[in-house]
Amino acid sequence: MATSTAATLEKVVSLCKRKGFVFQSCDIYGGLNGVYDFGPLGVALKNHIKDLWIKEITQFPEDVVMLDGALLGHQDVWKASGHLENFSDPMVDCMNCKKRFRADELDLEKPCQSCGVKNWTDVRQFMLMFQTQLGAMSDKASTAYLRPETAQTIFTNFKNVTSSTRVKVPFGIAQIGKSFRNEITPKQFLFRVREFEQMELEFFCSPDESDKFFDLWLQRRRDFYKKLGLNKENLRFRKHKPNELAHYSKYCTDVEYCFPFGWKELEGIAHRGDYDLTQHSNHSGKDLSYFDATTNKKFMPHVVECSVGVDRLMLTILFDAYREDNVKGEQRTYLALSPTLAPITAAILPLTKKLSENAHKLFIDLKQKGFSVQFDEAGSVGKRYRRQDEIGTPVCCTYDFDSENDACVTVRNRDTLAQERISIDAVASYLQKLKA
Ligand code: ATP
């Protein structure tokens, strides 16, 4: 069985559309650039990624609590965070073909890659935040921004969380939610989009312990990616050089993945010092420092941040899982997704429609037990296997004529193609074990 991980951007985009993972948003109107809708399987995969992330970051001795902040943000928040002043990319236009580019991704000494003519405009800074107005007035006071990251709502709610719950530093506030960036050139499918979801953890600790917790979270994130089962050769942790660091950041390490279009950032892990809480204290006039009752000391907590995009991680997982092989002379495409992430855990297939009624009983039983299962009685069993392989279903359970007598089904493994006969009563515990 020859297996290849021949994932290309085109193949993954096509599979996502064909199988209902991801659709171009508003495609019946020609599409909205850099904006995507998630279909049934995409939602399931995303939810499994998010569940795993929450499970991973909340398993440690220190508390990590969740927040769901608003998408619309007060302009003063973005002033304090530095986004209003600095959150921009350099932009340049080709005066010949009118195409627009990020100037830091081009060599402006060379002609335009699109039309071959060298005729650039001056480089301008382009603000990446989406601006909007609240209410009927369109004056400066009513200006608000769609958040370009979830982190700032965590910082602005730091006092609310510490005074309304029993958490004590060191602890973390985590958030999963939408962020918006008006990227100049959205590209590479889900990699760079204008509306996306982030999973961010802001971990608050005393200045003395901040280096220790930075190292600890680095290790914990390594363990997370190990558990995801991503191909080790395509994953690396890259420490930022001093000249790459934001002025307030002590250390930063990017988790990078080798996409078909090169090594790119997947997650950022940063020691942010006390920059954020200090900025918000100064701008709001509210003291956001923390009083530690056990040591009788007041200090501004330091922050370790772990920030990853759900969409970018989903794309990574799809690239990593994409496989093509040859089964009995027939080309097969499949997703080698782990059972924890796969949108569907098992498919129940009656060999013929005559057996549907009893096979359906197994399907309903598994559904009621909380498994994500599909029932498929259409077409040859081989075709049905292919359909499930392509969406990454780890196992198919075939109910055949023998099942009527021995109360067993044949369970076929997506990756090894091995088949085993197991009792219908044992299918639920079999699937449970698979997902563990
Ligand atoms: P990049 O350099 O790729 O633009 P960044 O350094 O600006 O990323 P951060 O601000 O650190 O990104 O955001 C944290 C994470 O959020 C990124 O590692 C990525 O997974 C995700 N992310 C950021 N921007 C986008 C985007 N436009 N589309 C999809 N995901 C994004």
Ligand 1 cavity residues, CB under 6 Å = 149, 181, 183, 192-193, 196, 198, 265-268, 307-309, 311-312
For residues 308 and 365, membership in a common domain is answered with no
* Beta-carbon-side half-sphere exposure of residue 31 (alpha carbons within 13 Å): 8
For residues 299 and 224, membership in a common domain is answered with yes
Among protein residues, the one with the nearest Cα to ligand 1's atom 4 is 192
- Say what the pLDDT of residue 5 is: 62
Q: What is the mean pLDDT of residues 12-32?
A: 97
For residues 399 and 298, membership in a common domain is answered with no
Atom of ligand 1 nearest to the CA of 181: 27
Among protein residues, the one with the nearest Cα to ligand 1's atom 18 is 267
Residues 213/118, Cβ–Cβ less than 8 Å:
no
Residue of 237, 249, 265, 313 to test ligand 1 pocket, by largest number of atoms within 8 Å of CB: 265
Q: Is the confidence at residue 2, as pLDDT, over 50?
A: no
**Residue 299 Cα to ligand 1 middle (Å):** 30
164: domain CATH number is 3.30.930.10
Q: Is the confidence at residue 137, as pLDDT, over 90?
A: no
Q: Using the 3D structure, point to which of 318, 352, 380 is the last residue of a domain.
A: 318
Asked whether residue 85 is domain-assigned, the answer is no
Q: What is the mean pLDDT of residues 122-150?
A: 93
Read off the pLDDT band of 141 (50, 70, 90).
Answer: confident
Q: Is the confidence at residue 42, as pLDDT, over 50?
A: yes
Residue of 22, 264, 312, 313 to test ligand 1 pocket, by largest number of atoms within 8 Å of CB: 312
Among protein residues, the one with the nearest Cα to ligand 1's atom 20 is 309
For residues 289 and 413, membership in a common domain is answered with no
Question: What stretches of 91-205 show up as alpha helix (H) in DSSP?
Answer: 151-156, 158-164
Asked whether residue 409 is domain-assigned, the answer is yes
For residues 211 and 273, membership in a common domain is answered with yes
297-348 pLDDT, tens digit each: 999 999 999 999 999 999 999 999 999 999 989 999 999 999 999 999 999 9
pTM: 0.95
221-271 pLDDT, tens digit each: 999 999 998 999 999 999 999 999 988 899 999 999 999 999 999 999 999
Asked whether residue 113 is domain-assigned, the answer is no
- Say what the pLDDT of residue 390 is: 98
Position 143, amino acid: T
Among protein residues, the one with the nearest Cα to ligand 1's atom 28 is 192
**Residue 388 Cα to ligand 1 middle (Å):** 32
- Say what the pLDDT of residue 1 is: 39
Q: How far apart are CA 404 and CA 429, in angstroms?
A: 21
**Residue 84 Cα to ligand 1 middle (Å):** 17
DSSP 144: E
For residues 356 and 304, membership in a common domain is answered with no
Q: How far apart are CA 304 and CA 214, in angstroms?
A: 6
Say how many domains are in the chain: 2
Of the listed ranges 89-93, 203-207, 326-330, 393-397, the one predicted with least confidence: 326-330
Cis upstream peptide for 148 (omega within 30°)? no
For residues 252 and 364, membership in a common domain is answered with no
Q: Using the 3D structure, point to which of 284, 318, 352 is the last residue of a domain.
A: 318
Residue of 35, 53, 130, 198 to test ligand 1 pocket, by largest number of atoms within 8 Å of CB: 198
For residues 431 and 368, membership in a common domain is answered with yes
396: domain CATH number is 3.40.50.800
For residues 172 and 64, membership in a common domain is answered with yes
For residues 309 and 351, membership in a common domain is answered with no
Among protein residues, the one with the nearest Cα to ligand 1's atom 12 is 268
**Residue 230 Cα to ligand 1 middle (Å):** 19
Question: What stretches of 270-309 show up as alpha helix (H) in DSSP?
Answer: 275-284
Asked whether residue 135 is domain-assigned, the answer is no
Residues 392/319, Cβ–Cβ less than 8 Å:
no
Domain that holds residue 26: 3-73+144-318
**Residue 342 Cα to ligand 1 middle (Å):** 24
The percent of residues in the chain predicted with pLDDT above 70, rounded, is 99
For residues 292 and 354, membership in a common domain is answered with no
Q: How far apart are CA 17 and CA 14, in angstroms?
A: 5
Asked whether residue 107 is domain-assigned, the answer is no
Q: How far apart are CA 398 and CA 382, in angstroms?
A: 11
Burial class from Cβ neighbours inside 10 Å (0-12, 13-18, 19+) for residue 276 reads buried
Q: What is the mean pLDDT of residues 64-75?
A: 98
Asked whether residue 55 is domain-assigned, the answer is yes
373-421 pLDDT, tens digit each: 999 999 999 999 999 999 999 999 999 999 999 999 999 999 999 999 9
Atom of ligand 1 nearest to the CA of 190: 29
- Say what the pLDDT of residue 436 is: 87
Residues 143/75, Cβ–Cβ less than 8 Å:
yes
Asked whether residue 154 is domain-assigned, the answer is yes
Of the listed ranges 128-137, 172-181, 272-281, the one predicted with least confidence: 128-137
- Say what the pLDDT of residue 23 is: 98
For residues 186 and 239, membership in a common domain is answered with yes
Q: Using the 3D structure, point to which of 318, 333, 355 is the last residue of a domain.
A: 318
364: how many CB neighbours lie within 10 A of its CB?
A: 12
Atom of ligand 1 nearest to the CA of 193: 28
According to DSSP, the residues that pair with 298 across neighbouring strands are 291
**Residue 405 Cα to ligand 1 middle (Å):** 56
Asked whether residue 323 is domain-assigned, the answer is no
